[in-house]
């Protein structure tokens, strides 16, 4: 049986896993990322949400996410942010630095949340946005042109326009225009269109059909399809040709900003010498005392093992496949770590504003991100837990998923780097 | 491997990660995509096998959808089966029937390999081939070796072998690049490992990719019976072609529900096998310096096995050899896919990722396991390309 040795093994290729790898490899240690699938980062909006709404008034958008998170110690001490508070700002600066290095500098809004338009014409709070999405002062535009494609599934500019008119608090003087383009390509997925827009014909085709709608003071909004590659600035090319600022709005996957971020981080890991293995399913671990000695994985039906000094569990929760459930029981699938659950798993209401109990399920940790058993003792001292594997957050309601991923991934990578050789 | 693993249709949560990563969907509007052709239509096909979308022919069977899926859905297997259903219903063009039967082409060419090589390079013949049969004139055919690997290989008796392997060379090494098989034989003999060969059928992957399922299954039945006999005699099966490897250890079971327990457990990529020897301290570490730099391309079917790149770990042992991962994804050729007139531009466009990676890294030569990838990397970049086992043999001074 093949055994692969490495200093730090990161299981999972989502945002927290990739960040952990980026940080850990700086210590000079051998780092391997291995995952069952490609990681859900490519399905995300591509923005880093930190904290969306006010703790005391959940209807209000939170004005200062860092200050609100600092309060969690008193109001919700079990929240994962309380375990990573010491590195939160440092990790965000680190993330911004990385993205800047690869030509996609993520922007903050001076400590406040951005309010970014979505494909449904709503506004979502987010803390860091890629340049193609970091849209300020939409209400100061004279005209908003919303661009769709007849051939593109999953984006309906008319829906966005009518909801934007209702939700946007836009002055009456702002004119909303829907432009539905026709492409020479008959069937477009977001990724197909992104590729087409990286070619000169794709840009020409779009510009020819939009140009007539541009007046002074126009802002052009596209679905999130403006190119896949990091070396071509489709947004910039369109803006230049149209003579108006162009932005992408958030939409359901596949959406390119998330894919670009994933690609950027993978490119960085490659440059830094991290091995990335996709397509192996982890099935179990060999443990002695409170240390993990090796983990078992399966690829194309055959079993092999990995052994490392530090294991970082970044496999995600139920959607990512890191946690599994049966009626009345939730379990972590590799190390069989205790999962903290709650009496009430789900709210009766599908879109309840209190969220569902299962979203808070996860693994309890100490402030070194080591997993704890029900008595609060460390169960595996050379395992660290990150991202959606952590117990206590309510991501869909609090809008904190990627923020926790960045901070916990960074911290786990840093701690793994400090382990003695 | 659990033999009861079946198509896990209900695990698909429609997350679209397969669409987001599909190299074909990215560059053409002709393909309805892995999700729609795979799990979406599979639900209908459970009742009505005719529920196949004609665009299924545009699936290149690179298997990216399989290994990016976080839910363990074998999308590519569904697509292969769907292609089989489509061909069963509508027939396959003569071209696909010929291109899929690589083994027959190769056997026929053995009558006069040099004449075949000459004819394959003559522009007017290729133009005719494109006009009459739809075989892309711009895609160069690989060149037949004057003598096959099996004709050249001479087994070496080793007194107290550290291991016994049966080498499955596959059509590409046997007919086009026998030097790869011969290099492997030398490396094994040098390290005290006994290697034998036998006459096998094509693994069947090219037939599957062209929807010729019955032919593929027949190959599978023959190959499995023979492989099982060797394994029961204590041989490990070793391949140098990632596609053959994947076919033997996974696809016979997934596509045809054959019992491959023994073969799956005992089939190894050559470098996977060497890495295990290395871990046991059985690999000679006395390697010459190779002060050169290569760009490494990872074949999709090696990625699909999910154990990383064992060859890179072994090549790292060679002093002064620098191997830089190109990490450019699929090369686009996907076996016979890129030889089809209507698919050649797609294959070429996907291959531009390799061109950019080569420009970024500035490498002047490349290394990769898969014969077809070697062909495409050379076609799109012009760089010379070798198999990693050739570098290892060279470093041993063999």
B32 CB within 8 Å of a chain A CB: yes
Q: Residue B331 is encoded by which pair of tokens?
A: 């090369």
Contact B306 A38 (CB under 8 A): no
- Contacting residues of A for B69, CB less than 8 Å apart: 37-38
Cα gap A410→A407, rounded to integer Å: 5
Query: Which chain A residue lies closest to B2 (C-alpha atoms)?
Result: A301
CB atoms within 10 A of CB A123: 19
For chain A, what is the total number of helices (H) and then of strands (E)?
Answer: 12, 17
Indicate the residue of B30, B71, B249 with minimum beta-carbon distance to A301: B249
Residue among B228, B178, B171 at smallest CA distance from B204 = B171
ipTM for the complex shown:
0.92
Q: If you average pLDDT over residues B31-59, what whole number do you get?
A: 89
Query: Which chain A residue lies closest to B261 (C-alpha atoms)?
Result: A301
Query: Collapsing DSSP states into helix, strand and coil, what is residue A326?
Result: strand
- Contacting residues of A for B308, CB less than 8 Å apart: 4, 32, 34, 275, 277
Query: Collapsing DSSP states into helix, strand and coil, what is residue B173?
Result: helix
Contact A300 B305 (CB under 8 A): yes
Contact criterion met (CB below 8 Å) for B45 and B64: no
Angle at A307 between CA A302 and CA A310, to 5 degrees: 135
Name the CATH architecture for the domain at B292-396. Answer: 3-Layer(aba) Sandwich (3.40)
**Euclidean distance between the first and the last CA atom of chain A, given in angstroms as a whole number:** 26
A-B Cβ pairs (cutoff 8 Å, strict): 136
Contact B1 A278 (CB under 8 A): no
**Strand A143-149 with A383-385, pairing:** unpaired
According to the model, what pLDDT value does residue A2 have?
85
B17 CB within 8 Å of a chain A CB: yes
- Contacting residues of A for B246, CB less than 8 Å apart: 300
Distance from CA of A82 to the nearest CA of B (A): 29
Distance from CA of A220 to the nearest CA of B (A): 24
- Contacting residues of B for A42, CB less than 8 Å apart: 17, 20-21
Contact B27 A195 (CB under 8 A): yes
Cα gap B75→B343, rounded to integer Å: 21
Q: Residue B396 is encoded by which pair of tokens?
A: 């041993």
Query: Which chain B residue lies closest to A188 (C-alpha atoms)?
Result: B29
Cα gap B373→B136, rounded to integer Å: 17
Distance from CA of A263 to the nearest CA of B (A): 11
Render pLDDT for A275-323 as a digit per residue (tens, 0 to 9): 999 989 999 999 999 999 999 999 888 899 999 999 999 999 988 889 9
Contact B20 A259 (CB under 8 A): yes
CB-count exposure of residue A170 (10 Å: 0-12, 13-18, 19+): middle
Residue ranges of the domains in chain B? 3-90, 292-396
CA-to-CA dists, residue A92 to A63, A70, A88, A89, angstroms = 17, 15, 6, 5
**Euclidean distance between the first and the last CA atom of chain B, given in angstroms as a whole number:** 37
Contact A279 B68 (CB under 8 A): yes
Indicate the residue of A32, A40, A299 with minimum beta-carbon distance to B306: A299
Contact A189 B19 (CB under 8 A): yes
Contact B325 A40 (CB under 8 A): no
Contact criterion met (CB below 8 Å) for A63 and A55: no
A381 CB within 8 Å of a chain B CB: no
Contact criterion met (CB below 8 Å) for B55 and B67: no
According to the model, what pLDDT value does residue B4 have?
38
pTM: 0.94
Q: Residue A37 is encoded by which pair of tokens?
A: 């699938």
B351 CB within 8 Å of a chain A CB: no
pLDDT band at B7 (very low <50, low <70, confident <90, very high): low
Q: Given CA atoms B191, B193, B198, B203 in this order, what sign does their dihedral have?
A: negative
Render pLDDT for A47-56 as a digit per residue (tens, 0 to 9): 999 999 999 9
B329 contact partners, CB below 8 Å, separation of at least 6 = B23, B64, B300, B350, B353
Indicate the residue of A189, A191, A279 with minimum beta-carbon distance to B304: A279
Rg (CA), chain B: 21
Cα gap A207→A219, rounded to integer Å: 14
Q: What is the dihedral of CA B104, B106, B112, B115, to 10 degrees?
A: 110
Any idea which of A344-358, B229-243, B272-286 has the lowest mean pLDDT? A344-358
Residue among A25, A53, A64, A66 at smallest CA distance from A125 = A53
Render pLDDT for A110-164 as a digit per residue (tens, 0 to 9): 999 999 999 999 999 999 999 999 999 898 999 999 999 999 988 999 999 999 9
Render pLDDT for A217-253 as a digit per residue (tens, 0 to 9): 999 999 999 999 999 999 999 999 999 999 999 999 8
- Contacting residues of B for A2, CB less than 8 Å apart: 272, 275-276, 279, 307, 310
Contact criterion met (CB below 8 Å) for A222 and A188: no
B254 contact partners, CB below 8 Å, separation of at least 6 = B5, B74, B77
B26 CB within 8 Å of a chain A CB: yes
Indicate the residue of B29, B250, B260 with minimum beta-carbon distance to A185: B29
A132 CB within 8 Å of a chain B CB: no
Per-residue pLDDT at A168 exceeds 80: no
Q: Residue B337 is encoded by which pair of tokens?
A: 């896919």
pLDDT band at B273 (very low <50, low <70, confident <90, very high): very high
Per-residue pLDDT at B3 exceeds 80: no
Query: Which chain A residue lies closest to B325 (C-alpha atoms)?
Result: A270
Contact A43 B17 (CB under 8 A): yes
Residue among A42, A83, A17 at smallest CA distance from A313 = A17
Distance from CA of B26 to the nearest CA of A (A): 4
CB atoms within 10 A of CB B240: 27
Q: If you average pLDDT over residues A325-335, what whole number do you get?
A: 93
Render pLDDT for A70-121 as a digit per residue (tens, 0 to 9): 999 999 999 999 999 999 999 999 999 999 999 999 999 999 999 999 999 9
According to the model, what pLDDT value does residue B190 have?
97
Cα gap B154→B299, rounded to integer Å: 29
Cα gap A383→A293, rounded to integer Å: 10
B87 contact partners, CB below 8 Å, separation of at least 6 = B96, B210, B211, B212, B213
Query: Collapsing DSSP states into helix, strand and coil, what is residue A403?
Result: helix
Per-residue pLDDT at B39 exceeds 80: yes
Q: Residue A10 is encoded by which pair of tokens?
A: 């990161």
Contacting A residues, span 212-231, partner chain B, CB-CB under 8 Å? 228, 231
Q: What is the dihedral of CA B26, A226, A258, A25, to 10 degrees?
A: 90
Contact B26 A299 (CB under 8 A): no
Cα gap B361→B325, rounded to integer Å: 9
Q: Given CA atoms A204, A205, A211, A212 in this order, what sign does their dihedral have?
A: positive
B29 CB within 8 Å of a chain A CB: yes
CA-to-CA dists, residue B198 to B181, B263, B270, angstroms = 13, 16, 17
- Contacting residues of B for A259, CB less than 8 Å apart: 20
Per-residue pLDDT at B5 exceeds 50: no
> Domain B3-90 is in which class?
mainly alpha
Cα gap A280→A260, rounded to integer Å: 23
Indicate the residue of B5, B69, B305 with minimum beta-carbon distance to A299: B305
According to the model, what pLDDT value does residue A248 have?
98
- DSSP annotation string for A180-198: EE--SSS-B-HHHHHHHHT
Cα gap A187→B220, rounded to integer Å: 37
Render pLDDT for A277-290 as a digit per residue (tens, 0 to 9): 998 999 999 999 99
Quote the crossing angle between the two packed helices A15-25 and A401-418, to the nearest 10°: 30
Longest dimension (CA), chain A: 71
Query: Collapsing DSSP states into helix, strand and coil, what is residue B183?
Result: helix
Indicate the residue of A42, A278, A319 with minimum beta-carbon distance to B303: A278
A253 CB within 8 Å of a chain B CB: yes
Render pLDDT for A388-416 as a digit per residue (tens, 0 to 9): 999 999 999 999 999 999 999 999 999 99
Q: What mean pLDDT, rounded, does chain A reach?
A: 95
The conformation of residue B144, written as its DSSP 8-state character, comes to P
The rounded percent of chain B whose pLDDT value lies above 90 is 86
Contact criterion met (CB below 8 Å) for A345 and A367: no
Query: Collapsing DSSP states into helix, strand and coil, what is residue B375?
Result: helix
CA-to-CA dists, residue A257 to A29, A159, A228, angstroms = 30, 21, 8
CA-to-CA dists, residue A419 to A27, A107, A363, B228, angstroms = 10, 33, 22, 46
Which residue carries 């965000």 as its tokens? A92
């Amino acid at each position: 049986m093949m055994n692969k040795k490495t200093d730090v093994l990161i299981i999972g290729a989502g945002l927290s896993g990739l960040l952990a790898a980026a940080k850990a490899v700086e210590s000079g240690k051998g780092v391997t990322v291995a995952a069952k699938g490609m990681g859900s980062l490519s399905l995300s909006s591509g923005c880093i949400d930190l904290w969306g709404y006010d703790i005391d008034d959940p209807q209000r958008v939170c004005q200062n996410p860092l200050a609100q998170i600092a309060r969690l110690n008193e109001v919700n001490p079990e929240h994962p942010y309380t375990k990573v508070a010491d590195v939160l700002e440092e990790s965000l600066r680190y993330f911004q630095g990385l993205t800047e290095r690869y030509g996609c500098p993520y922007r903050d809004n001076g400590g406040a949340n951005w309010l970014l338009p979505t494909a449904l014409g709503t506004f979502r709070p987010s803390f860091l946005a890629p340049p193609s999405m970091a849209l300020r002062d939409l209400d100061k535009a004279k005209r908003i042109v919303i661009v769709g494609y007849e051939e593109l599934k999953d984006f309906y500019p008319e829906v966005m326009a009518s909801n934007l008119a209702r939700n946007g608090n836009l002055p009456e003087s702002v004119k909303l225009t829907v432009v539905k383009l026709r492409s020479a390509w008959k069937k477009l997925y977001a990724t197909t269109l992104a590729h087409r827009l990286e070619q000169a014909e794709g840009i020409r085709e779009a510009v020819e059909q939009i140009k007539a709608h541009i007046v002074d003071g126009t802002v052009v909004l596209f679905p999130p399809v403006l190119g896949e590659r990091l070396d071509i600035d489709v947004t910039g090319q369109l803006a230049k040709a149209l003579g108006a600022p162009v932005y992408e709005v958030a939409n359901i996957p596949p959406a390119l900003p998330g894919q670009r971020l994933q690609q950027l981080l993978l490119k960085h890991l490659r440059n830094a010498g991290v091995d990335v293995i996709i397509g192996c399913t982890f099935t179990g671990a060999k443990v002695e005392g409170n240390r993990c000695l090796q983990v078992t994985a399966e690829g194309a039906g055959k079993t092999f093992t990995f052994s490392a000094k530090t294991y970082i569990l970044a496999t995600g929760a139920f959607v990512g496949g890191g946690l599994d459930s049966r009626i009345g029981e939730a379990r972590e699938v590799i190390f069989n770590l205790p999962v903290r659950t709650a009496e009430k798993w789900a709210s009766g209401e599908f879109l309840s504003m209190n969220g569902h109990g299962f979203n808070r399920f996860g693994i309890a940790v100490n402030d070194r991100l080591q997993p704890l058993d029900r008595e609060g003792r460390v169960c595996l001292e050379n395992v660290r837990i990150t991202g959606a594997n952590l117990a206590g957050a309510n991501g869909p309601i609090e809008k904190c998923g990627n923020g926790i991923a960045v901070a916990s991934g960074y911290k786990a990578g840093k701690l793994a780097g400090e382990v003695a050789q | 491997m659990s033999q009861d693993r079946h198509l896990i249709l209900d695990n698909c949560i429609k997350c679209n990660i397969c669409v987001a990563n599909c190299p074909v969907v990215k560059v053409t509007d002709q393909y309805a995509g892995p999700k729609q052709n795979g799990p979406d239509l599979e639900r209908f096909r459970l009742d009505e096998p005719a529920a196949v979308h004609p665009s299924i022919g545009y699936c290149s069977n690179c298997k990216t959808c399989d290994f990016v899926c976080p839910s363990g859905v074998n999308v590519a297997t569904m697509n292969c089966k769907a292609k089989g259903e489509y061909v069963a219903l509508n027939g396959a063009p003569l071209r696909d029937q010929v291109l899929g039967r690589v083994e027959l082409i190769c056997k026929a060419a053995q009558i006069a390999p040099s004449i075949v090589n000459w004819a394959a390079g003559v522009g007017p013949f290729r133009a005719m081939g494109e006009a009459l049969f739809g075989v892309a004139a711009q895609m160069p055919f690989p060149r037949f070796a004057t003598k096959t690997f099996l004709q050249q290989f001479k087994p070496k008796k080793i007194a107290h072998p550290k291991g016994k392997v049966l080498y499955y060379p596959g059509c590409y090494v046997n007919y086009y690049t026998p030097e790869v098989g011969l290099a492997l034989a030398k490396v094994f003999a040098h390290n005290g490992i006994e290697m034998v060969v036998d006459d096998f059928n094509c693994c069947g992957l090219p037939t599957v990719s062209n929807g010729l399922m019955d032919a593929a299954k027949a190959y599978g039945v023959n190959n499995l019976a023979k492989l099982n006999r060797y394994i029961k005699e204590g041989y490990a099966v070793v391949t140098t072609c990632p596609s053959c490897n994947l076919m033997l250890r996974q696809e016979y079971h997934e596509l045809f529900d054959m019992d491959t327990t023994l073969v799956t457990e005992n089939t190894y990529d050559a470098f996977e096998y060497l890495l295990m020897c290395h871990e046991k301290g059985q690999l000679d570490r006395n390697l010459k310096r190779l002060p050169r730099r290569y760009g490494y391309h990872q074949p999709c079917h090696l990625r699909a096995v999910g154990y990383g790149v064992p060859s890179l770990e072994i090549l790292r042992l060679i002093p002064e050899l620098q191997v830089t991962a190109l990490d450019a994804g699929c090369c686009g050729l996907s076996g016979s896919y890129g030889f089809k007139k209507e698919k050649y531009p797609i294959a070429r466009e996907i291959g531009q990722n390799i061109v950019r990676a080569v420009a970024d890294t500035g490498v002047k030569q490349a290394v990769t396991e898969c014969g077809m990838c070697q062909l495409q990397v050379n076609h799109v970049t012009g760089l010379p390309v070798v198999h990693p086992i050739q570098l290892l043999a060279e470093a041993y001074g063999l």
